[in-house]
Amino acid sequence: MLTGMFSKRVACAMALAMTLGVGVAHAQEAKIAAVNSDRILRESAAAKAAQVKLEAEFAKRDKDLADMAQKLKSMSDSLDKNGASMSAADRAQKQRDLSQLDTDFQRKQREFREDLNQRRNEELAAVLDRANKVIKQIAEAQHYDLIVQEAVYVSPRIDITDQVLKALAASGN
């Protein structure tokens, strides 16, 4: 009885091995490529346009923060320089004003970073979405079976990142 079960397992294993052998042969014939997403996000015209758009969108808030930082520094320097000659009440009021301004500055700076990061992520997601559409078009036109975007190592022979960058530029994205 055990030999019968063993024979069935051997037969199944042999069938599986033959199937895998056929699968390996087909995998060797597969057309595979890779794309470096980081390069797309650094070098594509769409990514550069998104960066310019973000800089313009956040320029005023960035300048306001820089002005606020300068005012904070001036107040701190003034307090350091003149604090000893001020009355205790005046010095305490200046310290409260300085502390309040510092708190406002920290809050606005944090909000600025959060808003900037959120908008950057939105813009980069849009760039990657356009890139993925171009990659799919290339895959269909050139009959690729698999295109990967993240890999530990990619041979330059199968890297089509330059082709994707050119296609993105040609499509106006």
Q: What is the 3-state secondary structure (H, E, C) of the chain?
A: CHHHHHHHHHHHHHHHHHHHHHHHHHHHHCCEEECCHHHHHHHCHHHHHHHHHHHHHHHHHHHHHHHHHHHHHHHHHHHHHHHHHCCHHHHHHHHHHHHHHHHHHHHHHHHHHHHHHHHHHHHHHHHHHHHHHHHHHHHHHCCCCEEECCCCCCCCCCECHHHHHHHHHHCCC
- Please indicate, yes or no, whether residues 50 and 134 belong to a single structural domain of this protein: yes
Q: Count the neighbouring beta carbons within 10 Å of the beta carbon of residue 45.
A: 14
Q: pLDDT at position 12, please?
A: 42
pLDDT tens digits for range 82-108: 878 888 898 899 899 999 999 999 999
Q: pLDDT at position 83, please?
A: 78
Total domains in the fold of the chain:
2
Residue 79: domain span: 31-170
- Please indicate, yes or no, whether residues 51 and 128 belong to a single structural domain of this protein: yes
- Please indicate, yes or no, whether residues 2 and 45 belong to a single structural domain of this protein: no
- Please indicate, yes or no, whether residues 108 and 130 belong to a single structural domain of this protein: yes
- Please indicate, yes or no, whether residues 51 and 103 belong to a single structural domain of this protein: yes
* Mean pLDDT score of the chain: 86
- Please indicate, yes or no, whether residues 56 and 133 belong to a single structural domain of this protein: yes
Q: What are phi and psi of 151, to 5 degrees?
A: -150, 155
- Please indicate, yes or no, whether residues 52 and 118 belong to a single structural domain of this protein: yes
- Please indicate, yes or no, whether residues 132 and 157 belong to a single structural domain of this protein: yes
Task: Say which CATH number the domain at 64 has.
Answer: 3.30.910.20
- Please indicate, yes or no, whether residues 21 and 46 belong to a single structural domain of this protein: no
Q: pLDDT at position 17, please?
A: 43
**40 neighbors 47 (Cβ within 8 angstroms):** yes
pLDDT tens digits for range 114-150: 999 999 999 999 999 999 999 999 999 999 999 999 8
pLDDT tens digits for range 8-61: 443 444 444 444 444 444 545 889 999 999 999 999 999 999 999 999 999 999
- Please indicate, yes or no, whether residues 90 and 157 belong to a single structural domain of this protein: yes
- Please indicate, yes or no, whether residues 22 and 68 belong to a single structural domain of this protein: no
- Please indicate, yes or no, whether residues 107 and 49 belong to a single structural domain of this protein: yes
